[in-house]
Amino acid sequence: MRKQGGRRTETPFRARNEKPARQNADKAPRKDTHKPGARTDSRAFRRPSPELAGLYGYHAVREALGNPRRESLDLFATAAAAEKLATEIAASGVPLHIVDGEALSARLGAEAVHQGVFLEARPLPALDVSEIESRSGLVLALDQITDPHNVGAILRTAAAFAADAVIVTERNAPEFSGVLAKTASGGLEHVPLVEVVNLARALDRLGDAGYLRVGLDSEGPESLEHTMLSRPVALVLGAEGKGLRRLTREKCDVLARLDMPGAIKSLNVSNACAVALAVTRAKLAE
């Protein structure tokens, strides 16, 4: 796990030995070499600094290129992917390296669905709880949710519902990796991830700032639909199976459950988050 300035960085683009890199570069498509900034030389696979971030996947990279808070350094893409992102690449001015898709898979891993594009960038600036901009008056706090796919899906949903931030703990939370960014489908660029050392203290600070802290708990005394809500509000979600920790529960102003009328009475945490955000948005609009 690597950190810069107290926060995690996305998984870097790791080079292997130079010989395969040159071989793969030789196989790279040549049709885009006349585009400004496009390169096909072996420098595309140099070893990056460990402080750099690595983002892959079409939507994640497209949103990162358009994010003024994200400093993009180098883009590695197949000719087809570069063509799809031509407008964003031109606007960002990021150096483009045309590479072979198999070369990307070899370095990112066969399980990485990179869609022919990989971006080296600086990690986003770290934020403190006090720096959350209360535009919608709605934030999420995650209590030790460790699966990057779940956190990525929560970020995507948070972006769809215009949440102001997602608070996570430095420990027992996933790295801000390519997997998380890919699953978030661009949400990482629109919803700040705020890392805190101690979630209980962060909830205290939210309470001092006037937030209603609502813990989602399957054993909650009242359903979320029948819970009185006011803005600003912080929805607190626990890990699947474990739920909210005792101290986290004690820091919440109210505990609420999601009632399921169907045969299945439980949801994946990212799906539960989507339902909770929809219910909360509707109640705040009443």
**Last residue within a domain, chosen from 94, 121, 148:** 121
pLDDT in the model for residue 39: 54
Q: Which residues pair with 169 in a beta bridge?
A: 196
| pLDDT for residue 243 is more than 50 | yes
Structure tokens at 64: 């990162």
Structure tokens at 45: 């696979």
Q: Choose between 208 and 53: higher pLDDT.
A: 208
Same domain, 115 and 165: no
Same domain, 166 and 219: yes
Neighbours of 52 (CB within 10 A): 21
**Last residue within a domain, chosen from 75, 93, 121:** 121
Using alpha carbons, select from 146, 141, 139, 140 the residue that is nearest to residue 240.
146
Same domain, 138 and 111: no
Query: Residue 147's domain spans which residues?
Result: 129-284
Q: Choose between 170 and 141: higher pLDDT.
A: 141
| pLDDT for residue 201 is more than 80 | yes
pLDDT in the model for residue 137: 96
Q: Give 49's pLDDT tier (boundaries 50, 70, 90).
A: low
Same domain, 135 and 117: no
Same domain, 153 and 274: yes
Same domain, 116 and 153: no
Same domain, 77 and 187: no
Q: Choose between 236 and 36: higher pLDDT.
A: 236
pLDDT in the model for residue 242: 86
Q: How many domains does the chain have?
A: 2
**Last residue within a domain, chosen from 98, 121, 144:** 121
β-strands 117-121, 53-56: how paired? antiparallel
Integer Cα distance of 214 and 257 in angstroms: 10
Q: How far apart, in Å, are the Cα atoms of 141 and each of 36, 64, 107, 226?
A: 43, 23, 33, 21
Same domain, 104 and 134: no
Same domain, 156 and 94: no
Same domain, 117 and 97: yes
Same domain, 115 and 135: no
pTM: 0.80
Same domain, 155 and 219: yes
Q: How far apart, in Å, are the Cα atoms of 52 and each of 73, 92, 121?
A: 9, 18, 6
Is 6 exposed, middle or buried (CB count within 10 Å of its CB: 0-12, 13-18, 19+)?
exposed
Structure tokens at 193: 């991830």
B/e letters for 87-124, b = 16+ CB within 10 Å, e = fewer, are: ebbeebebbbbbbbbebbeebbeeebebbbbbbbbbbb
- How far does Cα 134 stand from its chain's mean position? 19
Q: Which CATH number is 114's domain given?
A: 3.30.1330.30
Q: Which CATH number is 151's domain given?
A: 3.40.1280.10
What tens digit of pLDDT does each residue of 6-16 get? 444 443 444 33
Using alpha carbons, select from 286, 218, 202 the residue that is nearest to residue 252.
202
Contact 286, 225 (CB under 8 A): no
